[in-house]
Structure 1
Amino acid sequence: MTGKEQLESVPLQEKLDVTCVEGEVVKPQWSNKFQCIIALLGFSVGLGNLWRFPYVCQRNGGGIGFSIMTISCLIVPYYSMVFAWALYYIYSSFATVLPWTTCGNAWNTRQCVAVGALRGGINRSTEIDGTISNLTEYLAVKEVSGEANISSGATKAFGHTATEEFWQYKVLGISSGIEDVGTVQLHLLICWFLTCLFLFLCIMKGIRSLGKVVYVTALMPYILLTVLLIRACMMPGSLDGILYYVTPDFNRLQQSQVWLEAILQVFFSVGPAWGTIITMSSHNSPHNNIVRDSILVTLLGELTSVFSGFVVFATVGFLAHDLGQPVADVITSGPGIGFIVYPEAVSLLPFSHLWSVLFFLIVLMMGVDTTFGNIEAALACIEDVLPRRFHVKHLQTILAALFMSLVFLSGLPYTTNAGVYMFQLFDWYVAAVACFLIGTLECLVVGWCYGMKRFAADVEAMIGKRLPVIYKLMCFIVVPALLMVAMGLAVASYKPPTYGGYEYPYFAVIIGWCIALSSVVPIPVTFVMQILDERGSLAQRVESAMTPNSDWARCRRRYDVHERTNCTMKDNALFLFNQ
């Protein structure tokens, strides 16, 4: 039996986490091709598709391995905190009266205005600390607005909706700033523990358990979104919201910011630089059609963004109609749309408790698959760097338990009164540089260092087809160029982090840049270490460090892919337009 036949005949082991063929580790495979597709789709379709893509449309009229491991480890704790918030909203949805619809609660201020108090845009006035204010002046919902702050006594003259105050003062228990950490809040601590426990149970056996979970978490959001869309379309004002969404403003196409944000939306939505797609795909058969899967997942992911936009704008249109406000003044981005705008909108619907539970279930499921992917990427990197003697029975479960324990501990600061400030700081910086750089280097290293000839031969051996010229041009020239331009524009337009009206102190900005660079540093460090391990002159060491090792060459020969020695820059450039 040939090595190739041996590899393809290896069954999915139930007792051991890994198997070996000719001394090489072979990963378990998905039960079927559909599992990988929906797992990748679930990763690509995250919370950004639900609460960032619609806002972008409204506003615009329409060593790498170690870096991947680092950025995955950084992302999981802060991104998972959204689930803890959503869990608390689901719990609160079972109250007799939705707690974010009324004032007079312990967390409310004197400026609080109950949901529906201004229904129909009726112009009312109220006296607040001797100041006559028009309640309609604050109706434009702000993105996770931090204008009012109970602990600092800096509450503005104008009030806030009950929905906003529930989010700020009850759920977050927000303090005066990142310096005022406060204490761990019990309700968030409980929700955070349940979140980590759920994630561990889902990934404790790797793709064996994950492959079954994604059937629910990746597909159920489409059913729930469809139900919410049908219900929203039955409410007055929904058509106005949808028309606002689908009506293009072609004048905006002249602005570079529109194109930049379009690139950023697709890039961060699909997530090609996070390492998750590589990790998930590594569990496929060697002859899986990767070209088909990549096109399918990308199209389905972005079409989901468009579909989510209809759901969001239909609901926001109804809310705008109920408040007597323009749609543009109601739509927002980020957690603001998930924890302020949408809860207020569903509270105005009949059977509001049911719609509230359904919406936050969507938030949970659309985000959990992305987290699954990041966890799996981190665990795969850790498993790959572990010496062979540590590849023991139940290795995946042991690593998952240790990893999620560390995630739980590192996420505890987010449960404090200053947690949302830390969350915003991480969100501001964690992918500011790393993802652009990783994505660019992946294209350049594969295309120009490993060599297009080698890569094309590998792909042809896998799928039996040659790479088209357009693919080589896009992957090895256009995409890295666009990513570098996007990174340059993003850095040039950099602004210090803010949260509503709060400006972060200087030390927090320094911490933020340390976060941004922490996942980039492993790239030059690993490269230098690799060069030092080689022998010969500096030029010989660099060349040797950039040449595939003997293990990879042996793996390629197993699939009858012969080594190509001529992979110079000139050869790669000529190969762009030749087969």
Structure 2
Amino acid sequence: MSEEEEDIYQIEGSGLTSSLLGQCGLGSANDGAVSTSRSDAVTCSPSFGNKKTWLKPVGYFSFWYENNYVLLSVSNRDEYGDLERFSQSNDQANEAFDPSPENFSEADKSADVNGIDTKVHISEKEKELEQSKPTKETQERTVWDNPIEFLMSCIATSVGLGNVWRFPFVAYNNGGGAFLIPYIIVLVVIGKPMYYLETVIGQFSSRNCVKVWSLSPAMKGTGYAQALGASYVLSYYVSIIALCLYYLVMSFFPELPWSVCQPEWDACVPSIDTGSPIANGSRSSAELYFVNVVLQRYDNIDNGIGAPLWDLTVALFVSWLIIFVIVVRGVKSSGKAAYFLAIFPYIVMIILLVRAVTLPGAGDGILFFLTPDWGSIIELRVWYAAVTQVFFSLSVCSGALIMFASYNTFNVNVYRDSMIVTTLDTFTSLISGITIFGILGNLAHQLNVDDITQVIGSGGTALAFISYPDAIAKMPVVPQLFAVLFFLMMAVLGVGSGVALLSTVNTVLMDAFPRVPVKYMSAISCTAGFLVGLVYVTPGGQFILELVDFYGGTFMRLFAAITETIGVFWIYGLENLCLDIEFMLGLKPSIYWRICWAIVTPVIMIAVFMYEIVTTDELTYGGVVYPDAAYIAGNIMQYTGVALVPLFILFGLWKFRTGAFVETVKRAFRAKPSYGPRILTVREEWRQFRRDKKESRKPQRTSWLKHVGLSLVGGYKRS
């Protein structure tokens, strides 16, 4: 069944049941019921009063009558029904209905006071049917072959290019070693809680980042914003993989092509030379090779971005082809590739780390990286940098974590996996910083430069494709080997993140178009991604990359994170989520998780978001100002994603409208009856678990404020 077909109306009155029986041709309640099965369940269009209400068959209402099993089709009245009339019981039918105990089997006599379970009862016979024959839901939703594949996929997603080239430069620019303090604090109060949250709701519901918002339908725009943000990042991320593959191929040449100058380059200093510091006005051959040969970069894009470069186009095609091969069978293929994508980079990192720390001058570079500037800790920009780095590094609020967790079986310990990945990610960032600055320290030593800032460059792509290759070219022993290892590692890290981003977009599309086979959807997505990616392999492509990253990356992801926490903890409810976790994992979230989720995490993110709005300067690339059209395009891109949230809220209010505005708001934001575990029998057990828990807590819930306080501290007595 599709998501719309999963909505089961929770009938609250046996009189309505009787009315439906009569109008569906099953006779009145006194005539005796007809036994039927799931496959031929009755579908009808009952009328209430003088109004004919056309209903869409979507769910099943089962009960026993005179020892006969009756399965009645119940309908989604959200789009087709008269809500008020459908929700009312029929008094005449109530009077006609005979709820005497002898009319029901022994197994169901205790269902409720009328002898009928009016809350979507699933009988023992139906449970046997569920267990003996896989449902369409479980057939459609594949799962990982084993939980390790999920863990490896999360590692491959979170440990990416941002750890290698972004973290070291961000740390250097924001206090060096002192940056680790705000970074770790932000990791603890935002990174870990958000990571755990997304894996929990993904696994609990077995739904992607869009459909998971059955927990609060009006907030579905958050999921679409995350998917759109993932597509923005994916569009340029693969072009960076293409650059890595290009440099990887060039690394096999007997002489590294960026290590020597070409005749037409003025004021060029060969990167292969040692002991020759770069004078003012001069540039290294590594920099000129990247700018003039690889990118053929324009000085500005006032007159356009140019045509795609053929060699980078080939590299881009190969990059997309690799990603396609990995995702062509969904998690069945990507899960196997995750072992290599997660483990291989660490092997290379260890090799490069050992080599880096043994190079002459490496100690100076590492000391420069770790030396703290304590005064920077009190600066807001440093805390903003820590938040954005945590989001970028962990891949939270990109939709990928929810998507991966949705393919888990119901009881995988995502708490353990979340703690492993977030801790490992931080460790990887630290190791990458030590390795990078160790090599840059050696570069400064080779050039007889005392100030290491002279060899750092501008960070980002410049660090990966200029500073690092420049340092490798000066290595006395087999520089080609270390170049191959470095760029192969970079390509693998990029592919790991690219697979996650594409899988996120693919899963949303597959759930929207379930009849399209995954291999065809993957082919369509990769083809579209390749065509869009051509703009990044033009001479003006780096300008576009910076523009999309600036407007479509951090800002949108941070906004989606804020609305995600509001939707889950302030609307769906902190206590509801904690009960879901307790039912699924058998763990009661501690006060640390509760306080972070409900207060600390959203408040800090809102503050950081406001800081970004107030302080963000006009975007430039290499000191070059963009044309006005570029800024307009960037703002359209950014606010399209942001606008999805309020637009879906308005749509939800319209869709669930009733006569009373307050009731409309409640219905628009209230969780759908279909939300919960995907397997129907487990869903029924969960509903009963929640009913029992909430019933036992009623005596303690004397006021709304007391309920909030008890939810925050986990103060409800165990029951």
Q: Please give the range of the TM-score, normalised by the shorter of the 2 chains.
A: 0.7 to 0.9
After superposition, the Cα gap between the structure-2 partners of 1:290 and 1:223, relative to the gap in structure 1 and judged at 3 Å, is same
| Equivalent of residue 502 in structure 1, options 610, 618, 624 | 624
After superposition, the Cα gap between the structure-2 partners of 1:75 and 1:213, relative to the gap in structure 1 and judged at 3 Å, is same
2:275 alignment counterpart = 120
2:669 alignment counterpart = 546
CA contact (8 A) 1:458 1:561 kept: no
C-alpha separation in 1, matches of 2:229 and 2:497: 14
Deviation per residue, 1:360-407 (Å, 9 max, x gap):
011111121111111111111122233xxx436xx2111101111110
1:45 alignment counterpart = 159
| Count of residue correspondences | 530
1:400 alignment counterpart = 522
If asked which structure has higher relative contact order (CA below 8 Å, sep 6+), I would say: 1
1:13 alignment counterpart = none
Which residues in structure 2 correspond to 1:15-414 (within 5 Å)? 21=135, 27-59=141-173, 60-62=175-177, 63-104=221-262, 108-117=264-273, 119-121=274-276, 135-137=278-280, 158-179=281-302, 180-325=304-449, 326-331=451-456, 332-349=458-475, 350-386=477-513, 390-391=514-515, 395-414=517-536
Shift of 1:556: 3.4
TM-score (norm 2): 0.70
1:576 alignment counterpart = 712
CA contact (8 A) 1:242 1:317 kept: yes
Identity of aligned residues (%): 29
After superposition, the Cα gap between the structure-2 partners of 1:5 and 1:74, relative to the gap in structure 1 and judged at 3 Å, is farther
Aligned Cα RMSD in Å? 2.3
The 3-state SS of whatever aligns with 1:562 is: helix
CA contact (8 A) 1:178 1:422 kept: no
2:6 alignment counterpart = none
Q: Does 1:426 align with 2:548?
A: yes
Deviation per residue, 1:507-546 (Å, 9 max, x gap):
2111111121222222122221122111313222211011
CA contact (8 A) 2:360 2:442 kept: yes
Shift of 1:233: 2.2
After superposition, the Cα gap between the structure-2 partners of 1:489 and 1:93, relative to the gap in structure 1 and judged at 3 Å, is same
TM-score (norm 1): 0.87
CA contact (8 A) 2:392 2:554 kept: no
C-alpha separation in 1, matches of 2:398 and 2:284: 38
1:131 alignment counterpart = none
C-alpha separation in 1, matches of 2:295 and 2:126: 57
AA matched with 1:340? I
| Equivalent of residue 516 in structure 1, options 631, 638, 645 | 638
C-alpha separation in 2, matches of 1:474 and 1:519: 26
| Equivalent of residue 684 in structure 2, options 542, 557, 560 | 557
After superposition, the Cα gap between the structure-2 partners of 1:569 and 1:26, relative to the gap in structure 1 and judged at 3 Å, is farther
The 3-state SS of whatever aligns with 1:402 is: helix
After superposition, the Cα gap between the structure-2 partners of 1:164 and 1:26, relative to the gap in structure 1 and judged at 3 Å, is same
Shift of 1:121: 4.5
C-alpha separation in 2, matches of 1:551 and 1:280: 21
**Structure 1 gaps, min length 5:** 11-19, 123-134, 138-157
CA contact (8 A) 1:78 1:414 kept: yes
The 3-state SS of whatever aligns with 1:576 is: helix
After superposition, the Cα gap between the structure-2 partners of 1:2 and 1:481, relative to the gap in structure 1 and judged at 3 Å, is farther
2:604 alignment counterpart = 482
2:560 alignment counterpart = 438
AA matched with 1:383? M
AA matched with 1:48? G
After superposition, the Cα gap between the structure-2 partners of 1:2 and 1:359, relative to the gap in structure 1 and judged at 3 Å, is farther
C-alpha separation in 2, matches of 1:229 and 1:68: 35
Deviation per residue, 1:130-182 (Å, 9 max, x gap):
xxxxx522xxxxxxxxxxxxxxxxxxxx2321111111111111123223322
CA contact (8 A) 1:237 1:318 kept: yes
After superposition, the Cα gap between the structure-2 partners of 1:48 and 1:383, relative to the gap in structure 1 and judged at 3 Å, is same
Shift of 1:234: 2.4
CA contact (8 A) 2:394 2:422 kept: yes
Shift of 1:481: 0.8
Shift of 1:6: 8.7
Shift of 1:569: 6.6
C-alpha separation in 2, matches of 1:233 and 1:321: 13
The 3-state SS of whatever aligns with 1:235 is: coil
After superposition, the Cα gap between the structure-2 partners of 1:278 and 1:343, relative to the gap in structure 1 and judged at 3 Å, is same
**Structure 2 gaps, min length 5:** 1-123, 178-220
The 3-state SS of whatever aligns with 1:324 is: coil
Shift of 1:200: 0.4
CA contact (8 A) 1:458 1:556 kept: no
The 3-state SS of whatever aligns with 2:307 is: coil
AA matched with 1:562? R
Q: Does 1:533 align with 2:655?
A: yes
